[in-house]
A and B are shown apart, each in its own frame.
Chain A
């Protein structure tokens, strides 16, 4: 029960600690993961310009998702004071997503990137490098951990995204389903950070065989708060 250590009861907000691969992290209710020792914010699956991607097929979804995600990121950066950012792939919904960025969004992103080190890891939605600045790369190894987009089994210390994990719990007949952080001590998967992303239940087929289910630790995202839940509580759907 390692996340209990260092739990702080500061006012109404409870901040949790996640220990993984010998490192200490603070998960944020937004879905970001702050790495204290490295002063680094990890975010997965921003899916920027997702709505704009639909417009190409005649579905004019509200073009505000990118701004929402960037503002969320700006708030997390100012709250944590992170000096570097690692985006774990699928940062853009399309490989050419950087092209449709509006002037305002481009400027906002520029401001966020100006003050810090920035790593764009490639994802299946955005495999090619782009020219927005920062470093575009396939994966990153730091502090004994490997950061990459795709989760895999049998590579201890991997922090990944891609699957948009969510957990569902039922208590007293009431059910709640939310995105979550999930790890088994060897593999950690971050929830999707983007404003317009869906999620997949970690009991679903997509997660089959990835985790040692007996060692699962799950932290659900709540409203301004995080909720660690027992794996026994999980239900499908």
Chain B
């Protein structure tokens, strides 16, 4: 192996350090003209490993132009890495220019970077797409030798990763000498990640390097002397205990799964904070300035605890975190490992983590996660294959850079791993979509965005197309958000019941529009760590006032984005099925399971338990698939349709990560007993055929998904120069466009893209399909006279969770009936 250049070796020696084995392994790969995927935990000096080959090469062969491009999922991370890189470069007295490029970089510098680039440029996937769409791209990237991809595991499971893969395929064309070094946390399938980076550069060898694991984390579950609640997500029971634990540590990161849980926990902690220790809150809906303040205080070591959501999952070293607490369902083993890695960024010392279940099912999930983490099991998502919406965006971007040869571009994009199976006809339809909308009815030829030149190249019709493209770039489509502004409540002002609301209060942050949409004036909810009352909408702002209400009226737990992983679900089922395991659980949880065994039965590892029982005037069906909330919601929608056909008169359902409850008027136990309803037929896999189709026809989920695809593909613009279209407006028109398109061209590539996204994301069809196949002929029916102990949590969720299944029309019908009663004096 070639040794490090003297100047770098001296620097290591002066620091009293030695390069680590995996850092040298990356260097060796680089010097052998090979690519490398380095898998190592946080704190292993991964960043330096990524840049050591660049420094070594630039010391020996200084040259002009862009040498190394670094891409990170977070702009904050790019900025942080730049800082960490500048220090050694300065200390080695090297003249290597390092610059970042993010949305915050001044326009003048961004423009200069296109013609006079630094040796090392640190940026994000979106900025790469932007740079590649300029005519200067070929010259800018022609000199590129190294591409460093940071936190690749976090990128490859999303559309950002799809867009990045296409950008990399273009880079490989522009700079055939480019070699990729990717850095990743531990994942379930490192081989797929290695393929992902190998695909665009097939001529080079790709080495998979696995760094040493570091010390084993110390894990525990908060033990409960108090009762762990049956249901709910607030973990309020744990607060006094947690508070004591926080006081015993220097800095504690408390991870929760949703914004509202973060709000609730933060509030509860402050309620017991008699010593006034510094506890802060950090989540994506808070105003940016507020988040920056918290981050700065944390780096300065001024905070003793931060309650946060996935916003702090990735990224920068926040200083001396010595304890990570996961409150509520861990959801997945890999996710937990990554969160735990946020504690103690020093390899040789163990990270310390504490699980806090919020309810009894979560106790089981926490146990399963703890065992999985200790066993080093991984259940991270695999890289995803590419969507046609992202491809459409890329195709237009390439045409903006230079006229496009369709065959050459097709060959290039299929070198991107997510698009390796793309067919030529499908590619041509995407090209057609970009040019004129791709409709069977060729209505828009004369407004074409792309036109074919006599030599067969596709060229943008006018410079305005490129301008428009650059404004709509990227795949992150924000959930439409509205600003929340604190105003003085109407109720407090004398006589002012219909007048305008007081203006100009403080902005508390932003909240999802769909949440605000369900509110009526006077509804209270938790936001910005206080209970507020909704006063009304004013343009794109929601006005709220302080409320004296002790409890919020509207629960805002909408479930986390991540469903329970298949791996953890399997472990939980195994735990339930094995009474020998129950003694290791907290006593009350063990008792709960034993009671279930007495009254009903426990769900088996491979079977599905279905309980039916009457309660009040209604009949309930509760089943326990453990396939995550999304799959259960889909199952609930489809079962309700089938039960309707079987005349069981279902009224609604509610889904959790573990179980699904459907209720209705028909006597389900009797229907099943008399053979008029067969559970095998009810749960038959063919529900994923016609029933799914019929439901998708009317599903609001499809419309919401379509909106994202349409914006990414450029069908709907997200921004116009000068005036920003609000998310609200985009949503309204996207619904209508979906209806029109779906009715007339259900095979349009955007409908295809929407289906794929909905099936994968919101509906989790694949997982539901696997579940239905697994339980076929393994359904255990237990008719009961009363609710079973295991069914208690999900029934308690009714009223706290969104309920599905009651028709949209029913509110209007009830309002009309009410009017009728009023009119007839009844």
A residues near B (Cβ < 8 Å) are 1, 4, 51-52, 55-56, 58-65, 67-68, 100, 102, 169-176, 178, 195-198, 220, 222-223, 225, 227-230, 233, 235-237
Contacts and interface: CB of A to CB of B under 8 A. Distances in A.
B823 A1 contact: yes
A209 B290 CA distance: 41
B811 A230 contact: no
Contacts of A175: 517-518, 520, 811
A174 B518 CA distance: 8
Nearest to B750: A62
Nearest to A219: B816
B822 interface: yes
Interface string B486-529: 00000000000000000000000000000011111100000000
A198 B732 contact: yes
B741 interface: yes
B737 A62 contact: yes
Contacts of B716: 59
8 contacts: A60-B436, A63-B443, A171-B810, A171-B811, A175-B520, A198-B732, A227-B813, A227-B816
B737 A196 contact: yes
Given A4-B820, A4-B823, A62 B465 contact: no
Contact of A62 (B439, B518, B811, B819): B439
A64 B464 contact: no
Contact of B444 (A1, A63, A237): A63
Interface of B: 433, 436-439, 441, 443-444, 447, 449, 464-465, 468, 516-521, 536-537, 715-717, 732-733, 736-737, 739-741, 743-745, 748, 806, 808-816, 818-820, 822-823
Given A196-B736, A235-B521, A237-B537, A169 B468 contact: no
Given A58-B449, A62-B740, A64-B740, A236 B536 contact: yes
B447 A56 contact: yes
B765 to A, nearest CB: 25
A169 B813 CA distance: 10
Contacts of A236: 521, 536-537
Contacts of B737: 51, 61-62, 196
Contact of A64 (B444, B449, B537, B744): B744
Contacts, number: 130
A163 B447 CA distance: 30
Give the top 9 A-B pairs by smallest Cβ distance, nearest first.
A60-B437, A63-B443, A227-B812, A1-B823, A64-B744, A62-B741, A227-B816, A176-B811, A229-B815
A64 B809 contact: no
A56 B468 CA distance: 13
A223 B521 CA distance: 27
B822 to A, nearest CB: 7
Nearest to A196: B736
B441 A174 contact: no
B822 A230 contact: yes
A51 B740 contact: yes
Contacts of B516: 237
A100 B445 CA distance: 12
**Residue in A52, A235, A237 with the greatest tally of chain B CB atoms within 10 Å:** A237
A174 B745 CA distance: 32
Given A56-B447, A235-B521, A237-B517, A229 B741 contact: no
Contact of B743 (A64, A169, A220, A230): A64
Contacts of B517: 175, 237
Given A64-B741, A172-B814, A229-B815, A195 B736 contact: yes
A61 B715 contact: yes
B812 to A, nearest CB: 4
Given A52-B444, A171-B815, A174-B811, 9 more contacts: A60-B438, A61-B437, A62-B737, A63-B444, A64-B743, A171-B810, A175-B518, A229-B812, A236-B537
A235 B536 CA distance: 10
A225 B437 CA distance: 35
A178 B810 CA distance: 13
A170 B520 contact: yes
A68 B521 CA distance: 37
A100 B447 CA distance: 12
Contacts of B823: 1, 4
Given A102-B441, A237-B517, A62 B744 contact: yes
Contacts of A225: 809
A52 B740 CA distance: 13
A117 to B, nearest CB: 30
**Residue in A102, A172, A197, A233 with the greatest tally of chain B CB atoms within 10 Å:** A233
Contacts of A233: 815, 818-819
A211 to B, nearest CB: 14
Nearest to A204: B537
B477 to A, nearest CB: 16
A52 B818 CA distance: 43
A203 to B, nearest CB: 10
Contacts of A228: 816, 819
B7 to A, nearest CB: 53
B812 A222 contact: yes
A59 B715 contact: yes
A58 B464 contact: yes
Contacts of A62: 437, 439, 737, 740-741, 744-745, 748
B736 A174 contact: no
Contact of B818 (A56, A100, A230): A230
A63 B439 contact: yes
B418 to A, nearest CB: 25
Contact of A169 (B443, B465, B519, B812): B812
A227 to B, nearest CB: 4
B520 A235 contact: yes
B483 to A, nearest CB: 15
Contact of B811 (A55, A64, A102, A169): A169
Contacts of B812: 169, 176, 178, 220, 222, 227, 229
**Residue in B518, B813, B819, B823 with the greatest tally of chain A CB atoms within 10 Å:** B819
A81 to B, nearest CB: 26
A145 B467 CA distance: 50
B447 A55 contact: yes
A55 B437 contact: yes
A230 B819 contact: yes
A162 B808 CA distance: 26
B441 A229 contact: no
A173 B810 CA distance: 12
Contacts of A63: 437, 439, 441, 443-444
Contacts of A52: 443-444
B736 A198 contact: yes
Contacts of B820: 4
**Residue in A1, A62, A197, A229 with the greatest tally of chain B CB atoms within 10 Å:** A62
A171 B810 CA distance: 9
Nearest to A224: B809
Contacts of A230: 815, 818-819, 822
A235 B519 CA distance: 10
B808 A102 contact: no
Contacts of B464: 58
A130 B756 CA distance: 45
Contacts of B809: 176, 222-223, 225
Contacts of A58: 447, 449, 464-465, 468
Contacts of B447: 55-56, 58, 60
